[in-house]
Structure 1
Amino acid sequence: MSKLTSFAIIGSGNIGSFIISAFLGQAAPPSTLIVLSRNPESKNFPPEVQVVKVDDYGDINAVARILTAHNIEAVISTVGFGGISAQKKMVDAANLAGVKLFAPSEFGSPTDGAPREYRPLQERDEVAEYINAIGLPWARFYTGAFINTALFTVTGVRVNGKINIIGSGHTPVTFTSEEDAGGFIAYVLTSLPSSSISNKIFRLEGDRASLQDIAKWYHKEVAYVEAIPGPRSEILSMFSRIFESGAASTGWNFALEGEGKGWDAAGSANELWQGHQWKKIRDLVTTL
């Protein structure tokens, strides 16, 4: 089966911007790259990027017409938490337009089989199950926690100068840089045959460390807390509990309540990007 050559990216937030940059930087760039945005004027896109305004992602026919007009073969969604469930309309539009692959917004911890106590993860899994149910090929990318954001948010270190931990903090967590995640996604989607991408979960891992490791590396006091301090405490506390449970490893299997093996292991997909040097936490963050 041939390689994919035309792509639409939905959203241009944190990971979206890295994916866009990676697509533009590939040695063999795609023949078509468009970014769908409701507010294209709100962000300075690179001049090489063709931005298409979308008034309403819920208008399935309108979105499908855009994808069809540009002969889009693959759609990569990078929507944030607030737009996860709304992706089902985008999936319907992609299916109507004859798109060959849909990559829903994952880019974090594993979500397949996530329990209700981790509702944001469960919502992502529901979208993936919907894509599969209608027969549209998919690809899911598990990156673990992003180095340049999670170290500061989930630890609450910017609030009180301490590594705040719910639990013991000894459980290993997968960390990956946003740049590596974006680069990997662009690489596999443009370099590998679509048959080797479709209906697969890609488990990345740039680095692996516990919160106790991080406290030690950066000489930070540990605070054992019931909730992560500061803004967005509820959602950050949930992620801290995910860290503690083991489910923040990209190899986590909710059904087995443990690590997967082989292709299901954390970092198993790294080998696909041959020769790439994955960035480590201490390569990117010199101080907390």
Structure 2
Amino acid sequence: MSSKITSIAIIGSGNIGSFILSALVAQTPPPSTLIVLTRDPTKKLPPGAKAVKVQDYEDVDAVAGIFTEYKIDAVLSTVGWPGIKSQYKMADAARKAGVKLFAPSEFGTPDGAPIPSFQEKDKVSEYIESIGLPQARFYTGGFISSLIPITGVRVNGKINIIGKGQSPVSFTAEEDIGGFVAYVLTSLTVSSLSNKKFRLQGDRATLTDIAKWYNKEIAYVEAVPGPGSENLSMLSKLFESGGGSTGWNFELGKEGEGEEAAGSANQLWPEHEWKKIRDVITKLEI
């Protein structure tokens, strides 16, 4: 499996999917194949990407037929929470079609996080491994653009913290995530990508740091206020535990080293200037 990927199928083209798709269109050299599976074949896509209609994502034979027709080397999933379980069938279809690499939808914390929705991602990965399908997992930490709602600052003008707020959290800009994924998928060999975990980190900060940067008062709370309080509070507790770092090892309860360190994969995209939090967010608007 030393060859490079020349044909990619994307499942899902929402928020992070749109960034990855744009980067792939820009970086994928012709005559490579880039398709997006969708129920709407009229979906507007960037030039260079082709929308392919899928009637039923649960129909393994039909989806495998698409992968076979387009001679797909790699399947990249960017589905959101509602679509996480659909990846079991997608993996079956990829395996049946002889796809060389499957990248499940991750784009967050490392494996082992004690949050039910995150644990389902781990189960998907375990299933992919069990059927002998090579996979690549991308850990990005929080999206920089999601920093404002995570802090609850729009509700009370304060940085709301559960705990002390002194554990470092990894953040990465969506543009950098899209660019990195596109770069490694089109530059590295299949063997270099197979069964690897890529730990990105555009920036690293504690919630206390962020409050100081933007001259915001800290509110120590039991729950992060605002819409989606339950989910935001779970994330805040995860951050407090150290699990917001892309290098965090949940089993050992500490930061990893070497290839398991936060941001260790950044070096694979040489000379790239990673966006920092203050590059993207000049001030925390209420």
TM-score range, shorter chain: over 0.9
Q: Is the 8 A contact 1:7 1:30 kept in 2?
A: no
Q: Is the 8 A contact 1:10 1:79 kept in 2?
A: yes
SS at match of 2:151: coil
- Higher deviation after alignment, 21-30 or 278-287: 21-30
Q: Is the 8 A contact 1:6 1:71 kept in 2?
A: yes
State which of 168, 182, 187 in structure 2 corresponds to 1:186. 182
Distance 1:84 1:108 in 2: 13
Q: Is the 8 A contact 1:203 1:269 kept in 2?
A: yes
Where does structure 2 lack aligned partners over 5 or more consecutive residues? none
Aligned to 1:64: 64
Aligned to 1:169: 165
Q: Is the 8 A contact 1:94 1:102 kept in 2?
A: yes
Aligned to 1:77: 77
The CA deviation at 1:141 is 0.3
Kindly provide the amino acid, as one letter, of the partner of residue 16 in structure 1: G
- Higher deviation after alignment, 230-239 or 190-199: 230-239
The CA deviation at 1:47 is 3.1
> Across the two proteins, how many residue pairs are aligned to each other?
283
Question: In 2 relative to 1, CA 225–278 (structure 1 residues): closer, same or farther, beyond 3 Å?
Answer: same
TM, length-normalised to structure 1: 0.95
> What per-residue deviation string (whole Å, max 9, x for no partner) do you get for residues 143-162 of structure 1?
0100012x112111122222
Kindly provide the amino acid, as one letter, of the partner of residue 212 in structure 1: T
Aligned to 1:282: 278
SS at match of 2:177: helix
Aligned to 1:114: 113
Percent identity of paired positions between Structure 1 and Structure 2: 67
Distance 2:282 2:101 in 1: 39
Kindly provide the amino acid, as one letter, of the partner of residue 201 in structure 2: E
The CA deviation at 1:142 is 0.3
The CA deviation at 1:236 is 1.3
> What per-residue deviation string (whole Å, max 9, x for no partner) do you get for residues 180-224 of structure 1?
011000100100111111000000111000111111111111111
Question: Cα RMSD over matched residues?
Answer: 1.3
Q: Is the 8 A contact 1:30 1:190 kept in 2?
A: no
TM, length-normalised to structure 2: 0.96
Distance 1:253 1:29 in 2: 40
Q: Is the 8 A contact 2:35 2:51 kept in 1?
A: yes
> What per-residue deviation string (whole Å, max 9, x for no partner) do you get for residues 214-261 of structure 1?
111111111111111111111111111111110010000011010001
Q: Is the 8 A contact 1:188 1:272 kept in 2?
A: yes
The CA deviation at 1:120 is 1.3
